[in-house]
Amino acid sequence: MPSYIAELIGTAVMILFGGGVVANVVLNRSKAAGGGWIVIIMGWGFAVMLAIYAVGKYSGGHFNPAVTVGLAIAGKFPWVHVIGYIIGQMLGAMLGAYLVWRHFKPHFAVTENAIAKRDIFCTTPAIEDYPNNVISEIIGTAILMFAILFVGINEFTGGLQPVVVGFLIMAIGLSLGGTTGYAINPARDLGPRIMHALLPIPGKADANWSYAFVPVLGPMVGTILGASLYGLFYREGAGNTMGIIESLIWLIIGVVAMWALLRYATKRAEKVTLVEESPEQY
């Protein structure tokens, strides 16, 4: 199976299970309605784990542009394939989101909570504070990338590495996910957000495009920081493909990108506040 197709299929599987567990919990008249945050976290962890088991042997099981870029920064994935992987991941996320909508279509019709319906597709922060939301996504993704790279240098009993990654996703969600819904994956948020905007979902809210930059750009900055810190701290063995100078350069790029993104987020937040206070002027 071509690796690009494997990324498309794997990402679709991940979104089908991950978005599906959210739909199960939040939509009316679902037998799992009210299952809560723990159920959602476990569903997402198993979603990633099973997607890796399904097609990981063909593509490495990234399903996340931040992971693909982080691996490329660490010298563990060729840059020439990055764009193809990201395209496959975006298309797979959109396909998975469509399948979730089709599977739960009658339940969307009997659910009045428009925000809950949007949350099935994309993330919404518990407290909308763009700079702090960005920080949350950066921290979560930096830890994800840092941990994935260190997991990769350990020896596990055959077939157990996807289980470890699945539990890593659960750990990040349980400990850090309550602030933004822990996208930590641009494709996981943007692809389904586009589908939410396109699909004929009754009584839906807008796609909240003003917030969309947070779960897309935050993880990309986070992965730069996570990969560069891995390169700095892991200095033993053949598994280290990053030199000190290269790691420092990437760290500086990550810090500058974080500064720029936080400055942009602050300006966006100020503009949103002005629009809310004086809507007639905009």
Rounded Cα–Cα distance for residues 174 and 6 (Å):
29
Query: For position 234, which CATH number holds?
Result: 1.20.1080.10
Q: Quick check: is 281 in a domain? A: no
Q: What is the pLDDT of residue 282?
A: 47
SS3 204: coil
Report yes or no: 64 and 10 within 8 Å, Cβ to Cβ: no
| Residue 279 counted as domain residue | no
| Residue 251 located in a structural domain | yes
The pTM for the full model equals: 0.94
Domain count, the chain: 1
Q: Phi, psi at residue 32, to the nearest 5°?
A: -105, 10
pLDDT of residue 114 exceeding 50 = yes
Is the residue at 229 inside a domain? yes
The string of pLDDT tens digits covering residues 215-252 is 999 999 999 999 999 999 886 655 667 888 999 999 99
Residue 280 domain-assigned (yes or no): no
Mean of pLDDT values over 47-71 = 96
pLDDT confidence band for 155 (50 / 70 / 90) = low
Residues 137-165 have a mean pLDDT of 85
DSSP annotation of 210: T
Query: Coil, helix or strand for 2?
Result: coil
Range of the domain at 223: 3-271
**Rounded (5°) CA angle 73-130-127:** 120
216 lies in a domain?
yes
Percent of the chain with pLDDT over 70: 93
Nearest to 9 by CA among 71, 56, 65: 56
Q: What contacts 130, CB < 8 A, 6 or more positions away? A: 211, 214, 265, 266, 268, 269, 272
277: in domain: no
Residue 278 within any structural domain of the chain: no
Residue 88: pLDDT band (50, 70, 90) is very high
Distance from C-alpha of 40 to C-alpha of 18, rounded to nearest angstrom? 8
pLDDT greater than 80 at residue 153: no
Distance of CA 79 to the CA centre of its chain: 20
